[in-house]
Amino acid sequence: MSKIFILLSFFVAIAMAGGEPPGSSADQHATPKHTAHGTQPSDAEARVIDYLREHIQPGQALVVSELYNTVFTQPEERQALNKLYNAFFRIPLFLAEYQEKYGSPPSLRTIAQQFDLHNSNAADVLLRVMESDPRVPRFLTRDSKTGEITRVNVKMIRSDPRFGQTVERQLSGWEGKTAPTFNLAGAYGPAIDLAALSGKIVLLYIWFTGCPPCMKESPQLVALQHEFSSRGFTIVGANADKVLGLTYGDDVRQRYIKEQKINFPVVDWIKESDTAYGKISIFPTLFLIDGKGVIAHHWVGYAAPEDLRKYVSDVIK
Protein backbone atom coordinates (compact mmCIF):
# COMPACT_ATOMS: atom_id res chain seq x y z
CA MET A 1 0.00 0.00 0.00
CA SER A 2 1.31 3.42 -0.96
CA LYS A 3 0.18 5.34 2.11
CA ILE A 4 1.62 5.01 5.61
CA PHE A 5 -0.58 5.33 8.65
CA ILE A 6 0.44 6.97 11.91
CA LEU A 7 -2.22 6.46 14.59
CA LEU A 8 -1.39 8.40 17.70
CA SER A 9 -2.65 11.86 16.77
CA PHE A 10 -5.93 10.35 15.62
CA PHE A 11 -6.35 8.46 18.87
CA VAL A 12 -5.50 11.51 20.96
CA ALA A 13 -7.90 13.71 19.01
CA ILE A 14 -10.73 11.23 19.53
CA ALA A 15 -9.91 10.83 23.22
CA MET A 16 -9.92 14.59 23.78
CA ALA A 17 -13.26 14.85 21.98
CA GLY A 18 -14.71 12.07 24.11
CA GLY A 19 -15.57 9.89 21.13
CA GLU A 20 -14.81 6.38 19.94
CA PRO A 21 -12.94 5.12 16.89
CA PRO A 22 -15.08 4.24 13.88
CA GLY A 23 -16.49 0.76 14.17
CA SER A 24 -15.82 0.49 17.92
CA SER A 25 -18.62 -0.93 19.99
CA ALA A 26 2.27 -2.46 36.98
CA ASP A 27 4.90 -2.77 37.24
CA GLN A 28 8.34 -4.46 36.95
CA HIS A 29 8.04 -5.63 40.54
CA ALA A 30 4.96 -7.69 39.72
CA THR A 31 4.57 -11.36 38.98
CA PRO A 32 5.44 -12.56 35.43
CA LYS A 33 2.98 -11.95 32.63
CA HIS A 34 0.60 -14.67 31.58
CA THR A 35 -2.72 -14.43 29.83
CA ALA A 36 -5.73 -15.31 31.95
CA HIS A 37 -6.56 -19.00 31.89
CA GLY A 38 -4.89 -19.72 28.60
CA THR A 39 -6.54 -16.92 26.61
CA GLN A 40 -4.26 -16.09 23.69
CA PRO A 41 -3.87 -12.79 21.81
CA SER A 42 -6.16 -12.62 18.79
CA ASP A 43 -4.89 -13.12 15.28
CA ALA A 44 -6.51 -9.77 14.45
CA GLU A 45 -4.40 -7.93 17.02
CA ALA A 46 -1.26 -9.64 15.71
CA ARG A 47 -2.17 -8.56 12.15
CA VAL A 48 -2.63 -4.94 13.24
CA ILE A 49 0.68 -4.90 15.11
CA ASP A 50 2.51 -6.55 12.20
CA TYR A 51 1.05 -4.05 9.76
CA LEU A 52 2.16 -1.12 11.89
CA ARG A 53 5.63 -2.58 12.32
CA GLU A 54 6.06 -2.86 8.56
CA HIS A 55 4.66 0.58 7.69
CA ILE A 56 5.94 2.98 10.36
CA GLN A 57 7.93 5.84 8.86
CA PRO A 58 8.60 9.26 10.34
CA GLY A 59 6.53 12.23 9.21
CA GLN A 60 3.98 10.43 7.06
CA ALA A 61 0.44 11.79 6.71
CA LEU A 62 -2.41 10.30 8.70
CA VAL A 63 -5.15 8.66 6.61
CA VAL A 64 -7.59 7.32 9.17
CA SER A 65 -10.43 6.57 6.79
CA GLU A 66 -8.30 4.17 4.78
CA LEU A 67 -7.29 2.29 7.93
CA TYR A 68 -10.91 1.51 8.71
CA ASN A 69 -12.34 1.38 5.23
CA THR A 70 -9.67 -0.44 3.25
CA VAL A 71 -7.09 -1.89 5.66
CA PHE A 72 -8.82 -3.18 8.80
CA THR A 73 -12.36 -3.92 7.72
CA GLN A 74 -13.17 -6.99 9.80
CA PRO A 75 -15.01 -6.53 13.13
CA GLU A 76 -12.28 -8.31 15.08
CA GLU A 77 -9.62 -6.07 13.51
CA ARG A 78 -11.54 -2.95 14.45
CA GLN A 79 -11.96 -4.33 17.95
CA ALA A 80 -8.18 -4.73 18.12
CA LEU A 81 -7.80 -1.10 16.98
CA ASN A 82 -10.19 -0.03 19.72
CA LYS A 83 -7.99 -1.77 22.28
CA LEU A 84 -4.89 -0.06 20.88
CA TYR A 85 -6.71 3.28 20.90
CA ASN A 86 -7.12 2.93 24.66
CA ALA A 87 -3.47 1.97 25.05
CA PHE A 88 -2.15 4.85 22.94
CA PHE A 89 -3.74 7.58 25.00
CA ARG A 90 -2.80 5.99 28.32
CA ILE A 91 0.82 5.05 27.64
CA PRO A 92 2.25 8.57 28.24
CA LEU A 93 0.25 8.80 31.47
CA PHE A 94 1.48 5.38 32.55
CA LEU A 95 5.09 6.29 31.80
CA ALA A 96 4.83 9.50 33.83
CA GLU A 97 3.18 7.77 36.79
CA TYR A 98 5.62 4.88 36.74
CA GLN A 99 8.64 7.18 36.59
CA GLU A 100 7.28 9.18 39.53
CA LYS A 101 6.46 6.09 41.58
CA TYR A 102 9.60 4.00 41.01
CA GLY A 103 12.20 6.55 39.94
CA SER A 104 13.00 4.70 36.71
CA PRO A 105 11.19 3.94 33.44
CA PRO A 106 9.18 0.73 32.94
CA SER A 107 10.52 -2.04 30.75
CA LEU A 108 8.86 -2.98 27.46
CA ARG A 109 7.67 -6.13 29.20
CA THR A 110 6.01 -4.06 31.92
CA ILE A 111 4.27 -1.87 29.33
CA ALA A 112 3.01 -5.02 27.61
CA GLN A 113 1.66 -6.29 30.94
CA GLN A 114 -0.12 -3.05 31.75
CA PHE A 115 -1.84 -2.86 28.38
CA ASP A 116 -2.51 -6.57 27.89
CA LEU A 117 -0.27 -6.79 24.83
CA HIS A 118 0.95 -10.23 23.86
CA ASN A 119 4.68 -9.47 24.07
CA SER A 120 7.37 -6.81 24.44
CA ASN A 121 7.66 -6.42 20.66
CA ALA A 122 4.08 -5.15 20.53
CA ALA A 123 4.93 -2.52 23.16
CA ASP A 124 7.97 -1.53 21.09
CA VAL A 125 5.78 -1.02 18.02
CA LEU A 126 3.40 1.28 19.88
CA LEU A 127 6.30 3.37 21.14
CA ARG A 128 7.72 3.54 17.62
CA VAL A 129 4.40 4.89 16.34
CA MET A 130 4.60 7.65 18.95
CA GLU A 131 8.20 8.44 18.06
CA SER A 132 7.37 8.56 14.34
CA ASP A 133 4.71 11.27 14.65
CA PRO A 134 6.37 14.73 14.53
CA ARG A 135 3.43 16.25 16.41
CA VAL A 136 4.08 14.15 19.52
CA PRO A 137 6.60 15.66 21.97
CA ARG A 138 9.79 13.67 22.45
CA PHE A 139 9.07 12.72 26.04
CA LEU A 140 11.10 9.51 26.11
CA THR A 141 14.60 8.37 25.26
CA ARG A 142 15.37 4.76 24.33
CA ASP A 143 18.39 2.52 24.04
CA SER A 144 19.16 2.17 20.33
CA LYS A 145 20.11 -1.49 20.69
CA THR A 146 17.54 -2.91 23.08
CA GLY A 147 14.68 -0.48 22.54
CA GLU A 148 14.25 -0.18 26.30
CA ILE A 149 13.30 3.23 27.68
CA THR A 150 16.20 4.97 29.39
CA ARG A 151 14.49 8.24 30.34
CA VAL A 152 10.95 9.63 30.65
CA ASN A 153 10.55 13.40 30.65
CA VAL A 154 7.64 13.77 33.07
CA LYS A 155 7.78 17.57 32.85
CA MET A 156 7.26 17.43 29.10
CA ILE A 157 4.26 15.10 29.47
CA ARG A 158 2.80 17.39 32.14
CA SER A 159 3.22 20.45 29.91
CA ASP A 160 1.51 18.86 26.90
CA PRO A 161 -2.16 19.99 26.83
CA ARG A 162 -3.27 16.57 25.62
CA PHE A 163 -1.92 14.84 28.70
CA GLY A 164 -0.98 17.46 31.27
CA GLN A 165 -4.29 17.91 33.07
CA THR A 166 -4.80 14.18 33.48
CA VAL A 167 -1.22 13.58 34.58
CA GLU A 168 -1.45 16.38 37.13
CA ARG A 169 -4.62 14.89 38.55
CA GLN A 170 -3.11 11.44 38.76
CA LEU A 171 0.15 12.55 40.37
CA SER A 172 -1.12 15.29 42.69
CA GLY A 173 -2.72 12.94 45.19
CA TRP A 174 -6.31 12.21 46.19
CA GLU A 175 -6.16 12.07 49.98
CA GLY A 176 -8.64 14.41 51.66
CA LYS A 177 -10.76 14.88 48.54
CA THR A 178 -14.38 13.82 48.22
CA ALA A 179 -14.63 10.59 46.26
CA PRO A 180 -16.42 11.04 42.93
CA THR A 181 -19.77 9.31 43.03
CA PHE A 182 -20.37 6.19 40.96
CA ASN A 183 -23.21 3.84 40.16
CA LEU A 184 -21.77 0.73 38.53
CA ALA A 185 -23.61 -2.25 37.14
CA GLY A 186 -22.79 -5.50 38.86
CA ALA A 187 -20.84 -7.90 36.70
CA TYR A 188 -22.61 -10.88 38.29
CA GLY A 189 -24.86 -9.26 40.88
CA PRO A 190 -26.66 -6.03 41.77
CA ALA A 191 -25.37 -2.57 40.86
CA ILE A 192 -23.24 -0.72 43.40
CA ASP A 193 -24.03 2.92 44.18
CA LEU A 194 -21.43 4.76 46.26
CA ALA A 195 -24.13 7.00 47.75
CA ALA A 196 -25.93 3.91 49.06
CA LEU A 197 -22.75 2.90 50.89
CA SER A 198 -22.69 6.08 52.98
CA GLY A 199 -21.35 5.26 56.44
CA LYS A 200 -19.39 2.28 55.15
CA ILE A 201 -15.68 2.21 54.51
CA VAL A 202 -15.11 1.34 50.85
CA LEU A 203 -11.96 0.15 49.11
CA LEU A 204 -12.47 0.80 45.41
CA TYR A 205 -10.21 -1.64 43.56
CA ILE A 206 -9.80 -1.00 39.81
CA TRP A 207 -8.32 -3.91 37.88
CA PHE A 208 -8.44 -5.81 34.61
CA THR A 209 -8.47 -9.50 33.82
CA GLY A 210 -5.02 -10.96 33.21
CA CYS A 211 -3.17 -8.08 34.93
CA PRO A 212 -0.22 -9.71 36.78
CA PRO A 213 -0.06 -7.30 39.74
CA CYS A 214 -3.86 -7.56 40.03
CA MET A 215 -3.55 -11.33 40.25
CA LYS A 216 -0.96 -10.85 42.97
CA GLU A 217 -3.26 -8.42 44.81
CA SER A 218 -6.44 -10.54 44.74
CA PRO A 219 -5.62 -13.00 47.58
CA GLN A 220 -4.68 -10.09 49.85
CA LEU A 221 -8.01 -8.40 49.17
CA VAL A 222 -9.96 -11.60 49.80
CA ALA A 223 -8.26 -11.85 53.21
CA LEU A 224 -8.97 -8.18 53.93
CA GLN A 225 -12.64 -8.52 53.07
CA HIS A 226 -12.91 -11.61 55.26
CA GLU A 227 -11.28 -9.84 58.22
CA PHE A 228 -13.09 -6.50 58.15
CA SER A 229 -16.45 -7.01 56.40
CA SER A 230 -18.27 -7.34 59.74
CA ARG A 231 -16.97 -3.89 60.77
CA GLY A 232 -18.61 -1.75 58.12
CA PHE A 233 -15.99 -2.34 55.43
CA THR A 234 -16.38 -3.56 51.87
CA ILE A 235 -14.25 -3.84 48.76
CA VAL A 236 -15.75 -2.93 45.39
CA GLY A 237 -13.86 -4.64 42.57
CA ALA A 238 -14.28 -2.50 39.43
CA ASN A 239 -13.28 -4.52 36.36
CA ALA A 240 -11.90 -2.28 33.58
CA ASP A 241 -11.88 -4.81 30.71
CA LYS A 242 -14.59 -2.99 28.76
CA VAL A 243 -13.11 0.48 29.27
CA LEU A 244 -9.75 -0.79 28.04
CA GLY A 245 -11.27 -2.58 25.05
CA LEU A 246 -10.07 -6.00 26.18
CA THR A 247 -11.76 -9.08 24.81
CA TYR A 248 -11.92 -11.33 27.86
CA GLY A 249 -15.35 -12.96 27.95
CA ASP A 250 -17.70 -13.32 30.89
CA ASP A 251 -16.72 -16.98 31.23
CA VAL A 252 -13.06 -16.04 31.77
CA ARG A 253 -13.93 -13.42 34.37
CA GLN A 254 -16.34 -15.73 36.19
CA ARG A 255 -13.78 -18.52 36.27
CA TYR A 256 -11.16 -16.16 37.63
CA ILE A 257 -13.51 -14.87 40.34
CA LYS A 258 -14.41 -18.42 41.33
CA GLU A 259 -10.84 -19.70 41.37
CA GLN A 260 -9.62 -16.71 43.40
CA LYS A 261 -12.58 -17.14 45.80
CA ILE A 262 -13.36 -13.46 45.50
CA ASN A 263 -15.77 -12.58 48.29
CA PHE A 264 -16.53 -8.94 47.44
CA PRO A 265 -18.81 -7.48 44.76
CA VAL A 266 -17.43 -7.10 41.24
CA VAL A 267 -18.79 -4.37 38.98
CA ASP A 268 -18.04 -3.07 35.50
CA TRP A 269 -15.87 0.06 35.42
CA ILE A 270 -17.22 2.61 32.94
CA LYS A 271 -15.72 5.51 30.99
CA GLU A 272 -17.56 8.18 32.99
CA SER A 273 -16.21 6.89 36.30
CA ASP A 274 -12.76 6.41 34.81
CA THR A 275 -12.72 10.07 33.78
CA ALA A 276 -13.99 11.17 37.21
CA TYR A 277 -11.16 9.26 38.89
CA GLY A 278 -8.49 10.81 36.68
CA LYS A 279 -8.26 8.12 33.96
CA ILE A 280 -6.53 5.15 35.49
CA SER A 281 -3.19 4.38 33.85
CA ILE A 282 -1.57 1.89 36.25
CA PHE A 283 -3.36 -1.26 37.37
CA PRO A 284 -4.39 -2.00 39.96
CA THR A 285 -5.31 1.36 41.43
CA LEU A 286 -7.07 1.52 44.80
CA PHE A 287 -8.96 4.26 46.64
CA LEU A 288 -9.82 3.88 50.34
CA ILE A 289 -12.99 5.91 50.99
CA ASP A 290 -14.11 6.61 54.55
CA GLY A 291 -17.67 6.64 55.88
CA LYS A 292 -18.11 10.31 54.96
CA GLY A 293 -17.16 9.73 51.33
CA VAL A 294 -13.66 11.20 51.63
CA ILE A 295 -10.63 9.49 50.11
CA ALA A 296 -8.38 8.48 52.99
CA HIS A 297 -5.66 6.84 50.93
CA HIS A 298 -4.76 6.12 47.33
CA TRP A 299 -2.49 3.39 45.94
CA VAL A 300 -1.12 3.29 42.38
CA GLY A 301 0.06 -0.20 41.45
CA TYR A 302 0.37 -3.23 43.71
CA ALA A 303 -0.26 -2.39 47.37
CA ALA A 304 1.49 -4.45 50.04
CA PRO A 305 -0.92 -6.34 52.33
CA GLU A 306 0.52 -4.86 55.52
CA ASP A 307 0.08 -1.36 54.09
CA LEU A 308 -3.53 -2.02 53.12
CA ARG A 309 -4.35 -3.53 56.49
CA LYS A 310 -2.78 -0.64 58.41
CA TYR A 311 -4.75 2.05 56.58
CA VAL A 312 -8.02 0.12 56.66
CA SER A 313 -7.58 -0.50 60.41
CA ASP A 314 -6.83 3.17 61.03
CA VAL A 315 -9.91 4.35 59.14
CA ILE A 316 -12.13 1.84 60.94
CA LYS A 317 -10.84 3.05 64.29
Q: Which pLDDT band holds residue 130 (cuts at 50, 70, 90)? A: confident
Q: Which pLDDT band holds residue 74 (cuts at 50, 70, 90)? A: confident
Strands 233-239 and 201-207: parallel
Higher pLDDT, 32 or 210: 210
Instruction: Determine the pLDDT at residue 110.
Output: 92
Please check the confidence at residue 310 and state whether its pLDDT lies above 60.
yes
Does this model's pTM top 0.75?
no
Instruction: Determine the pLDDT at residue 165.
Output: 57
Please check the confidence at residue 22 and state whether its pLDDT lies above 90.
no
Q: What's the rounded mean pLDDT across residues 197-209?
A: 95
Instruction: Determine the pLDDT at residue 65.
Output: 55
Q: What's the rounded mean pLDDT across residues 76-80?
A: 81
Instruction: Determine the pLDDT at residue 77.
Output: 84
Q: Which pLDDT band holds residue 15 (cuts at 50, 70, 90)? A: very low
Q: What's the rounded mean pLDDT across residues 262-282?
A: 92
Instruction: Determine the pLDDT at residue 7.
Output: 45
291-300 pLDDT, tens digit per residue, is 999 999 999 8
Higher pLDDT, 293 or 1: 293
Please check the confidence at residue 249 and state whether its pLDDT lies above 90.
no
Instruction: Determine the pLDDT at residue 207.
Output: 95
41-72 pLDDT, tens digit per residue, is 478 888 888 888 888 877 664 455 566 667 88
Q: What's the rounded mean pLDDT across residues 189-214?
A: 93
Q: Which pLDDT band holds residue 9 (cuts at 50, 70, 90)? A: very low
Please check the confidence at residue 14 and state whether its pLDDT lies above 70.
no
Instruction: Determine the pLDDT at residue 32.
Output: 36
